[in-house]
Structure 1
Amino acid sequence: MSSTRPGSDRRLGRTTVQEAFRDGGKTPSSRTVAALAGKLGLPVGRLLELQRIAAKADKPGSAPTQPGAANGDGKSTGPAHAGSAPQQLGSRADGDRATEVSVAPPLGLRDPAAPLRGRGTLIAAVEGDLSVVPGGAVGGRRGPVVLAGMGGCGKTALALETAARRISDGHQVWWVDARADSTLEAGLRAVARRAGASPDQLAHGDTADVLWLRLDRLREPWLLIVDNADDPTLLDGPGDLAAGTGWIRPSTALGAVLVTTRDLSPSTWGPAARRHPVPPLTDVLDDAAQVLLDRAGNGAGSPEDARVLAERLGGLPLALRLAGSYLAEVRHTPLPLRAPGVPDTLTAYRQAWNEVPGPLDHKEVLAQTWTMSLDLLHHRGHTHARGLLELIAAFADADLPYLLLLAPQQLARAGALTGLDGPGLWQHLNALASFGLIDLTENPDASPVLRMHPLVRDTTRDPRAEPVAASLLTDAAVEIQKTGEPGDLGTWPAWQALTPHIRAALDRVQGDHVLDSDLAWSASLAARYLRGAGLLHQARAVLETVVTALRKQLGADHHDTLVVHHSLALVLHDQGRLDQAREAFETILEAEQFDETHPLTLTTRHNLANVLHGQGHLDEARAAFEAVLRTRSEQIGATHPDTLSTRHNLGRVLYDQGHLDEARAAFEAVLRTRSEQIGATHPLTLSTRHSLALVLHSQGHLDEARDAFKAVLAARREHLGDAHHHTERTRQMLARITEEQGEAQP
């Protein structure tokens, strides 16, 4: 061992050495560790490994020290479908970023001509609970305020009114859709980013903790509204909602959470929650009557007529809105042109209702209301209105991208609504919207969608329409696939809109039901989008469902089953479940009916080597990568993208073993070829250049490393933006080198 005292070398400042060994001191750089290894006579690879472990334990957002670990590498080699290759680990490259989602309150749904009626007392109580400074709760925190009631009672309208009031008071308000776990998590991730969380902090699997850490630090009033949480188990997230460890937790004095749901149970929401039942308007029939008059317009009848009809409709706000919209549509038609016998006044509408014997529950009220509306639409020539509404109801309770799923060509191929062309479809959609049966929403930043109230969906759903909906989902997946792979960012908005509907169709495949091969293919593509978007829990759930079904139908060793199983193994790797991922890849290798040099087998061996690397089995990982590299170089050439991916990942292993010269040579070779093939600013090229800069840094070539990081940072800023976590990590490495160069000065 060298007798030179650490810190006596001018490249190792005294402060640097003290910090490296001080408990709680600053994490040392790779260059510092390499220099210390030389002075102490220890293996550089072991010290580098310890330094990387320390860096991972450092504060969120610390710079990566493993080439490629945070930057991805490889390429997507096709969809998970029969005859196509499975993905390679690292295929997301610089593409994994947050999925696009809006958390702005949908204030456009508020109608100034139809203000909220009959809820003054309830709104005052809710405002009181949202505004009171918490004192009685443990730690001075306030539990969520819960609006609970049956469908159609106007819970969302109440939440919108609250949002509008808070915004007018200058508060920050976020709105998250909780109908599906994918939209819920994407929305809450967006809230976390708005509250100051970096993408890097959201990539560590503790998103719920990061979200509430950032919310607790805000110094301005805020309100988080979680709408349509009818399945509160989704709010458990990684913990337990009632215990305050789920997605929704007690908030500090400056913040508040408002939830709309059908579940009023105290055990669901915990003791800190303030729960408010939202009943129909039966106790305030004058207000219920005014809801009818607001919608129906002048001349439809007297307040007393409206009051009698409101009582017959059970005071259900949704039924009141549908009835009022019906009368407004009828009365919009000139009197000489109205169909004979069609109710056009409040009294006539009530008389039509009187033909239905006895009292009705809220679903029966709604069913009778929309039946009258559909009958009128059919009389007006909208002969496909009922079939179209039943088809819409067969999809998930989520925003429906109708241009993607209801295109006339797809409808014709599915054998649905024959003869309905584009103009006819648009007329039918607008007719349904005019009667309040659906809502058509326009968003300049996204494709238009339609929404259907859950209660309308429940009363309209016909199981016979579900196979047609599944067929339309597959057609839509094919159309998206024509524009790019699920890992391509340009396809993400379409996949984001389609995925909740694919998952809903998949959920119906239970027991002895057979999973259609086309739906299995669509689901595997959706899972690849979810993986790329970082929604790993959802991706895993989808793939486990598909794998289980295919094993029953085709067998565990069938090619289609193995391909989807391979995708599941990739997600397990991304989740850090390395033992499970390794077991999955080894099982796939044993089952594959190809020799070890077959391209599909090589992809599996490549991915297994990545898992071995992650487990710390560096010698095994190196041997596996070297074997794959030799075969790929012989079969497809040294410059093929798959070969380059293997060489890049081999460089990562060499780096971890402390073979810096060999790692540098590998990265330099890959960088030259990628720069020629795909350009210097392609995400994969930047990934390799970032990795090479890390090696230069570890070798002590600080000027070269600094220049490389500067170039990568400029390109990532231009193509990914300042907020992307790859941009942030490159920025952090550049700052670290700048600091170290300052320390190294005499």
Structure 2
Amino acid sequence: MSGSVEASGDGSIAAGGSIRQALTGDGAVAHFVETSLTLPPEALELPLEAPPHMINLPGRTGLFIGREPELARLDSAFEDTGGVVVQAVHGLGGIGKSTLAAKWAAGRTGSYNPVWWITAETPGDLEAGLAELAVALQPALRDVLSPQARSERAVRWLAEHEGWLLVLDNVSDPADVRRLLGRTTGGRFLITTRRASGWHGIAQPLSLDVLELPQAVELFERIHGGTAEGVEELCAELGCLPLAVEQAAAYCAEARITPDAYGELLARRPERVFASTAEGADGEQTIARVWRVTMDRLADTPVAERILRVIAWWAPDGIPRTYLAPLADAPEVTEALRRLAAHSMISLREDGTLSVHRLVQAVARAGEGAEEIYDEAARLLVVQGLSCEDDTVWMGHVATLAGYYDMGRVPPELWALVPMYLGDYVPSHDQTVELYEQALERSERFLGPRSRITVVVRRRLADCCWTAGDHDRASQLLSKNLTATSMVFGHKAPETIETRTALARLQLQRGDLGNGLSRATISARHAERTLGEDSAEALRAHAVMAEGWRLKARAKPRRSARMAVTKIERLLEKAVRAQGEAGEAPLHLMWTLGEVRETAGDLAGAIRVTEDYLHKRPVPDDGADTQGLLARERLDGLLRKAGESDEPAVGG
């Protein structure tokens, strides 16, 4: 009621407003009377058809650039006749999903009626949008039915009609629209969403990527009002993300600054730049706001935000999933990656890597506690650098991380490893050796001569010295490593066994057959007892032992060849038990055994082993069977030699 009223006498009644309440004068009895409404006749039945040219679309098509393949895919998808057709355009926030949907829908106003846009970020938004659709279909219902009743009325109308197009914009969860989609049997739905997954069985997904660079430049210049120097560089730095390009162009135009100046602001304070818009622009449509909404939805998976903030310091592409393993248990990491990918914050690749948009990285780097996260990202790279399988990938991430701070912020462990891996990027051996020397000097100074990092660096330098022909230096480094690993890890540890095997191989190559074979035998014995006969270290040591016996047989065939055959045959038996007859280790030993049998004068045995080798070795898929050609050449030579000596071609 707009004011208070009173009943002054016995049995008198005071009335207020629409007489929703009546009160007797003595206040003893209160009566509540609801307002009575009379529904218009049209409210009792659904309209037979929609009013002509019933269109509700946002004005987002004026700045539309490119996207011809995606528009063509939508054309093709909606050509299907019969039943309801649902397309879900998904992608990173700010990538232009809504703009694409508005552009396509605006071109179909002559084919569908109504063409209706509903913001559907939440179930409440969807219900409100459907309620407005009901009012547009029957204006007399606006003040008659509740919003819930109007929403239900719109769904009923959609279920009984065809020829309409509904755009459901920014759907957060497929479950929010599943019931609506299930109740309609005709018509068309075009959905925009950041959710890349969850659409199976209800919609056909269409992934949307960033603009091509020329298209991003065109978009910037159209908003900016002309060309400007540095536009291409800025658009590339923005990753050609449409919303970021629009935001930057409008800001540059209003602030009267160049693209280069905007790029400098972006480098210094990305969190402020991505939260800023030009006057009159939609403050909700900024990079920072759009992605913060997504991360809020992932708050129940804290590992997801931690992963996003860590990878923000690495290169945006080719991030091995294995690099993230130390962050949490495997199921937690997998679940976090799944959810990040589902919300289009990252992309998971078939090769076991992931990628992230560089602007997502920029926003993630700007969060609270950035330096602590940087240190964590650096430590993870240190762990990977110790057993790096792909130096190029690892070095790319290290170079990106090191570029964000001066070298004083880089942890000593990583600082020691970096120059070592730079060796692959310089042309000469002298420069490579110099870089490795720098890495070893730093590692020994900061971490000590026996740290795990120092051992790895010293080993790489030893390999480089051997390749460069400095065999004495390589031997000294490996000997020092053997002492360090024995003291730090123990003489039976894998690190020590591997170092001893490497030193044994080096000694054999230098002609020190006695010490080399002795070290290899010790390594093999320790590896078999500690790690097992089928361990990689044991098989490596066996290969070096076989090489030692081959060299001894060649040096003194009369004294050593027969013994060498016996020793290598025993090693071959172990390798077959470990890997099978066609394994890499058995095949390598068979090759060596064939040569040693020939040295011992057993041509028949050498022929038999070589034929067996040819029969069991796999043929490469690419057809480049160089080793097979060498084996056939060896076999031809053995057969000729046997014929010349009248020795039987088959040994006993």
User: TM-score by structure 2 length?
Assistant: 0.46
- Asked which structure has the greater RCO (Cα within 8 Å, sep 6+), the reply is 1
Larger Cα-atom Rg: 2
